[in-house]
Structure formats: C-alpha cells, structure tokens
C-alpha cells in the first residue's frame, strides 16, 4: 500500500540529521518543504520563545475531501534524547541501527517518517479522508515542552494519534501517568575535613541517608520514583556544605502520586533535622496523566484499523509520558500508537523496516476508518 523504498529513504534522511532538543530547526527546514510540496499548508508556532529552542512546533494541515468525517491529527517529535553529530547508520537483515557509538534516533523519527509516508500515500492514491493535521513537536525529550506550549488555536482536530512508543505495531497506549519532579537543596556546614570535620555538617551524608531511607524504584504497578541527578562538593578536604538533587515520581493514580511525593519530602526534612542541616524542596508539576477506554472513538478507530490490517491488537498502560499527555489535558482525546522502535535511549536502538511499513499502513488505515464515520 505505502511506498516502502520512499519511506526508508525518508527515515534514513531524517536520522542522519542531528536534532537534540532545542536544535530541531535544521530538520524542520527539511520536512516543511516536503509537506508543502504534497499540498499541506504549514505553520510554525512560537513555542521556542518559551522553550529556549531554535524553532517552534510545525503544524501541517491537509483539508478533507469527505464531508462529515471527524478532523484528526497525527503527532510525533523532532528531537532525540541525545545528539547524533557523527551517526553511522547500518542497514542489515532488514533492520536499521547505528554502529553503537550513538543512538539511532528512531525515537521519534520512526514515528514521524511513517506519518509523512502515510499522508503521502493518501494524497497520491486519492484516498477519501477528513481534515488531517500533523502536530510535529519540538523539545519532547526534555519534558514535553513543545506540546506543553503548542499554539492550541492552531489545532482543529477533535482526536489524535501520537506515534511514540515501542512494538508490537498495532497495540495502543490508553493510559499514562502524572509526573512530578522534586528539586532539592541540602544546606550543611563547611569545615576542614582533616583538622575539624566534627564542626561540619556533610550535605552529602544527609543526601545519602535520605536516599537510603526513601522508597524508590517500582513502588507498585502504577507508581515509580527515582533519584536522577546529584551535584555537590568541591574538594575532598572540605566537608560538603551543599548538595542539589533532582528526583521524580510518577503514577497513574494521583492519590498515590501525592502520597509518594509527600513521603520523599518528609524523608529529606526528617534526615536534615537529624543532622542539624537545612533542606529546601521544590515540587514541580510536569504533566497530567490520562486514561482512555476501549469505547472512546479515538481508541475504536485505531483498534479497528489495526484489525483491518491483521496487526496484533491490544490496549496498553504506559509508565512514561508523551505529548499525548498534554493533548489529552487540552480536551482532545489522544492515544499513543506503537511503532517499531526498540531499545530506545540506548546505543543499541534499532528498528525493523517491516515495522516502519506497518506503521505507515496503520496511519493510512486509520484515516480510512475515520472517514467512514462520515457515512454513519
């Protein structure tokens, strides 16, 4: 159905471009003319004025040729979790990977390239469709910032599909957690570590004791917590007077999340008091979770399309956020579609060409199924 060679060529072109968060403009400048040459109207918002990046989100619109079909959108993000300035791409046995010195960038170019090929196929084959928008975002990997600050006035779609999770292609993420982060500063007291260590209060010891006492990792089937960043200390002969930490907690149950965050704050405060130190804890709300059901139109359309193609189907729960968290918070029902990206955020990341094709065909079939709604 879709053009496999054209899809692979596009994917290879995209992953060859280095696009860490806040440096996506070089690829946006490549993709926008491609979409415009296909007949989509494109506009960039000014989200980068808030995110600090070099480019805003790209919003592309293809007017429908069927009246009454629900307007839908597809979404993926330009940025990758790490920079790939000297990427070396290997295509072997139907699998695309890097040489192991960098990530591949299939997260999320393995979602964006099938979207673009799917739309290309729809136009080329004059497939009936309603209004379709592409919400191609920036700075997703550093807190969903592009989606958070997207110009909502440019979104006309009533439901959406984000291609941004791992296989099997055909499965659908229908729920994801709420996330909060904690920025913690522990204030100890400096002293010479050799002459009078007893006069100091080690912020490192306070941090270590608190972390050891804290519930971390997998809390339950809905909740996780992690210490991600620790900074502190200047020399071995100084009792460390200050440590900064960044932690996170996430849960698909907001009550459990609140309990976990309170626990983490309380542990820091209790341990600081025991040592005679002082602690500042700032809690940051990152994004809201969401929960869809099998009866929601957006899920039914995606599931029906997968069934039509003979793809494995199933509804999944996610432990991480995506741009869908923000789109759902805007009141636009949005599910996440599985792609072929495997071992993402590692240098072993790879994707099968067949999965790229499956994803692109799924995009086309979703459009067909959604257009059928016009006749009901």
Q: Quick check: is 79 catalytic?
A: yes
The residue from 45, 107, 131, 140 that is catalytic is 140
Q: What is the 3-state secondary structure (H, E, C) of the chain?
A: CCCHHHHHHHHHHHHCCCCECCCCHHHHHHHHHHHHHCCCEEEECCCHHHHCCCCCCEEEEECCCCCCCCCEEEEEECCECCCCCCCCEEEECCEEEECCCCCCCHHHHHHHHHHHHHHHHHHHCCCCCCCEEEEEECCCCCCCHHHHCCCHHHCCCCEEEEEEECCCECEEEEEECEEEEEEEEEECECCECCCCHHHCECHHHHHHHHHHHCCCEEEECCEEEEEEEEEECCCCCECCCEEEEEEEEEECCHHHHHHHHHHHHHHHHHHHHHHCCEEEEEEEEEECCEECCCCCHHHHHHHHHHHHHCCCCEEEECCCCCHHHHHHHCCCCEEEEECCCECCCCCCCEEEHHHHHHHHHHHHHHHHHHHHHHHC
In angstroms, the CA 15 to CA 113 distance is 10
Pair 349, 104: CB distance under 8 Å: yes
Pair 73, 160: CB distance under 8 Å: yes
> Parallel, antiparallel, or unpaired: how do β-strands 171-176 and 334-338 relate?
antiparallel
The residue from 24, 45, 79, 107 that is catalytic is 79
Q: Quick check: is 280 catalytic?
A: no
In angstroms, the CA 198 to CA 110 distance is 56
Q: Cα–chain-centroid distance for residue 145? A: 10
Which residues are catalytically annotated?
A: 79, 140
């Amino acid at each position: 159905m879709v053009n496999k060679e054209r899809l692979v060529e596009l994917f290879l072109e995209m992953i060859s471009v280095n696009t860490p968060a806040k440096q996506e403009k070089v690829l946006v400048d490549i993709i926008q003319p491609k979409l415009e040459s296909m007949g989509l109207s494109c506009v960039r918002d000014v989200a980068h004025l808030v995110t600090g990046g070099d480019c805003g989100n790209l919003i592309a619109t293809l007017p429908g040729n069927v009246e009454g079909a629900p307007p839908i959108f597809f979404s993926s993000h330009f940025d990758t979790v790490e920079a790939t300035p000297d990427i070396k791409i290997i295509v072997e046995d139907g699998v695309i990977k890097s040489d192991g010195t960098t990530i591949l960038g299939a997260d999320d170019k393995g979602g964006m390239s099938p979207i673009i090929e799917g739309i290309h196929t729809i136009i080329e084959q004059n497939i009936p469709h309603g209004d379709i928008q592409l919400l191609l975002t920036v700075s997703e990997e550093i807190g969903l910032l592009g989606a958070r600050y997207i110009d909502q006035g440019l979104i006309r779609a009533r439901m959406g599909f984000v291609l941004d999770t791992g296989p099997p292609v055909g499965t659908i993420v229908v729920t994801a957690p709420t996330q909060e982060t904690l920025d913690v500063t522990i204030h100890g007291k400096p002293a010479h570590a050799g002459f009078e260590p007893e006069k100091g209060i080690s912020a490192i010891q306070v941090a270590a004791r608190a972390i050891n006492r804290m519930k971390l990792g997998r809390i339950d089937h809905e909740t996780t917590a992690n210490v991600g960043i620790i900074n502190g200390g200047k020399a071995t002969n100084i009792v460390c007077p200050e440590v900064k930490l960044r932690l996170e907690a996430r849960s698909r149950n907001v009550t459990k999340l609140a309990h976990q965050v309170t626990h983490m704050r309380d542990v820091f405060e209790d341990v600081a008091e025991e040592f005679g130190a002082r602690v500042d804890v700032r809690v940051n709300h990152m994004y809201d979770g969401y929960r869809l059901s099998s009866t929601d139109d957006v899920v039914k359309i995606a599931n029906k399309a997968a069934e039509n193609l003979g793809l494995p189907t199933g509804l999944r729960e996610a432990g991480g956020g995506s741009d869908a968290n923000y789109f759902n918070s805007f009141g636009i029902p949005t599910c996440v579609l599985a792609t072929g990206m495997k071992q993402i955020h590692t240098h072993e990341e790879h994707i099968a060409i067949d999965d790229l094709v499956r994803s692109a065909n799924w995009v086309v079939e979703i459009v067909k199924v959604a257009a059928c709604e016009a006749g009901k």
